[in-house]
Chains A and B, each alone.
Chain A
Amino acid sequence: EIVLTQSPDFQSVTPKEKVTITCRASQSIGDHLHWYQQKPDQSPKVLIKYASQSISGVPSRFSGSGSGTEFTLTIDSLEAEDAATYYCHQSSGLPRTFGQGTKVEIK
């Protein structure tokens, strides 16, 4: 099983600040890494596919990078509506797995 480890687990951030979340895979997964945002009592929503590819309708302040075993989600200029938990997910192997989540709080 491919284990995904996110850091940090929690981040308290001021609006307009830049946020960086890291996801490390226990083995190389190429670019088969995707990022989701989940707000309280809502289903997750995909933000980035294949490590760095944008999703239609997702604000351009969300971007992704990385390949192999280390990946990053960046939120440029955080807005209040970005308060949520963020998850990475790999589709390189079975079973599909998720990171443990990173909760982003607005100060």
Chain B
Amino acid sequence: QVQLQESGPGPVKPSETLSLTCTVSGGSLSYSYWNWIRQPPGQGLEWIGYIINRGSTKYNPSLKSRVTISDDTSKNHFSLRLSSVTAADTAVYYCARSHGGSHFDYWGQGTLVIVSS
């Protein structure tokens, strides 16, 4: 059974960089697509990007200039960095696996990141 767990340092100030890590257990990063998805409070879901196959990445063009997704296969985790954050980046951030790049079959529990001074 694949399990994902997000972790991060907590609140972020405007203009700073948001950093989150997703630790994967029960599965290998060497296979599948590993995604970040976010959901502002009371709103819908937005795909941020994914990483596959030794670091190949794709990002949502709406965030592309500010996003970096990386992985560490030795620790079986992948990470999100979002730079120059504003209040609009306040959201629950989920990591999720997409099987063969299709549906998201395993999700983390989500972590709320608040951008505030």
Contact = CB atoms under 8 A, between A and B. Distances in A.
Contacts of B108: 43
Given A95-B60, A95-B61, A44 B103 contact: no
Interface of A: 1, 32, 34, 36, 43-46, 49-50, 87, 89, 91, 94-101
Contacts, number: 53
A89 B103 contact: yes
Given A44-B104, A95-B61, 11 more contacts: A43-B108, A45-B107, A46-B105, A49-B102, A50-B102, A91-B101, A96-B47, A96-B98, A97-B47, A98-B47, A101-B45
A87 B109 contact: no
Interface of B: 35, 44-47, 58-62, 94, 96, 98, 101-105, 107-110
Contacts of A96: 35, 47, 60, 98
Nearest to B58: A94
B44 A34 contact: no
- Ranked 7 nearest A-B pairs via Cβ: A34-B103, A43-B107, A96-B47, A95-B60, A98-B45, A49-B103, A91-B102
A44 B61 contact: no
Contacts of B59: 95
Given A87-B45, A94-B58, A98-B44, A43 B105 contact: no
12 contacts: A1-B61, A34-B102, A34-B103, A43-B107, A44-B45, A44-B94, A45-B107, A87-B44, A94-B58, A98-B46, A99-B44, A101-B44
Contacts of B104: 34, 36, 44, 46, 89
A87 B46 CA distance: 11
